[in-house]
Amino acid sequence: MIFIGLNLFIAPKYQSTLYTGRILQIYIVVSLVLLIILTFFYAMFLMMAISLNKNAKLQLENHFLSLQRARYDNLCAAIEETRQIRHDIRHHWLQLASLAENGDLEKIKEYLSSADSKMPGFDLHFCDNQAVDSVLGYYSAHAKQEGVPFLAKIDLPKQLPADEMDVCLVLSNLLENAVEASLKTERSRRKITVEMYLHHTHLLLIQVENTFDEKIRQKNEIFQSSKRAGNGIGIQSVRHIAEKNGGADSFTYKNGIFTAKIMLRI
């Protein structure tokens, strides 16, 4: 508006005035200078917008990374606790052997009952990769404790040609959401299925399906949290990891089945 206003202001009232002396040349020079200044301001505003968007994106990425790290640390702590308990089984056998030698049947029963209540029923035999196997074992045990059938079809090598932390974060986010949704579903319909495999050695495909009864809310194609007001963090985190790895994601829900499909490029 300023540019147009200045042009109108400096324009001669009569056209013949333009050809008096050097007025026409001055008018052209001034118009070009004003256009250059306008372009400069546009460029400056564009650079500011790009910088602000970049800073906002970095802040969002840092936020997701902090959440992912916290989730990963908690998961690793739970898995390590389970491994420690399994390691202590040998000491339980020694204690039982000592009680058996003394013929104290009642104490043996009490000891077995106490040990069984403290022993998580983790089944860490889903695949050869230890990290993925541990995540699946953790959520499989959690699901079974809550009465949720858990089916897994995993075909992965011992060494993944991908960032194991990213893979475990995607898997743990999806499974945590699946377990939470299953707990709010009618018991007879509860079910979680997981499939993971490599495709042509350069794509890792992950699919998690679970039943649900609650209404799923979306806003601007972003899933809303069922536990609090605002966006759901788990799915956003999965999408962020998929985007970072140059992969893709798909989330669909139909006929009471929620399906998450994730592709990570290796």
Query: How far, rounded to the nearest angstrom, does the alpha carbon of residue 178 sit from its chain's CA centroid?
Result: 13
Strands 218-219, 203-211: parallel, antiparallel or unpaired by DSSP?
unpaired
Q: What share of the chain is helix, strand, coil (3-state, %, to 5)?
A: 60, 15, 25
Asked if 205 and 197 count as a contact pair (C-beta separation under 8 A), the reply is yes
Query: How far is the C-alpha of 7 from the C-alpha of 26, rounded, in Å?
Result: 12
Q: For position 169, what pLDDT does the model report?
A: 85
Query: How far is the C-alpha of 28 from the C-alpha of 133, rounded, in Å?
Result: 74
Q: For position 13, what pLDDT does the model report?
A: 72
Asked if 264 and 162 count as a contact pair (C-beta separation under 8 A), the reply is yes
Prediction pTM value: 0.57
- For residue 72, CA distances in Å to 82, 94, 119, 161, 192 come to 15, 34, 22, 19, 21
Asked if 89 and 115 count as a contact pair (C-beta separation under 8 A), the reply is no
Asked if 32 and 10 count as a contact pair (C-beta separation under 8 A), the reply is no
Query: How far is the C-alpha of 113 from the C-alpha of 106, rounded, in Å?
Result: 11
- For residue 43, CA distances in Å to 6, 29, 47, 48, 194 come to 20, 21, 6, 9, 50
Q: For position 246, what pLDDT does the model report?
A: 87
Query: How far is the C-alpha of 65 from the C-alpha of 240, rounded, in Å?
Result: 10
Q: For position 44, what pLDDT does the model report?
A: 95
Question: Helix, strand or coil for residue 16?
Answer: helix
| Of 160, 168, 169, nearest in space to 236 by CA | 169
Looking at residue 221, the DSSP 8-state letter turns out to be: T
Digitized pLDDT (tens) for each residue of the chain, 266 residues in all: 877 787 777 776 777 766 666 767 777 788 888 889 889 999 999 999 988 888 877 776 776 666 566 666 766 776 677 667 666 776 777 777 777 877 777 777 777 777 665 555 555 578 888 888 888 888 888 888 889 999 999 999 888 877 888 888 899 889 988 998 899 899 889 999 999 999 887 899 999 999 988 777 666 566 665 554 545 567 888 888 888 888 999 998 888 899 999 999 87
| Of 203, 181, 192, nearest in space to 153 by CA | 192
Q: For position 219, what pLDDT does the model report?
A: 63
User: What type of residue is 116?
Assistant: D
- For residue 126, CA distances in Å to 150, 154, 209 come to 12, 6, 17
Interhelix angle for 130-145 vs 164-183, to 10°?
10
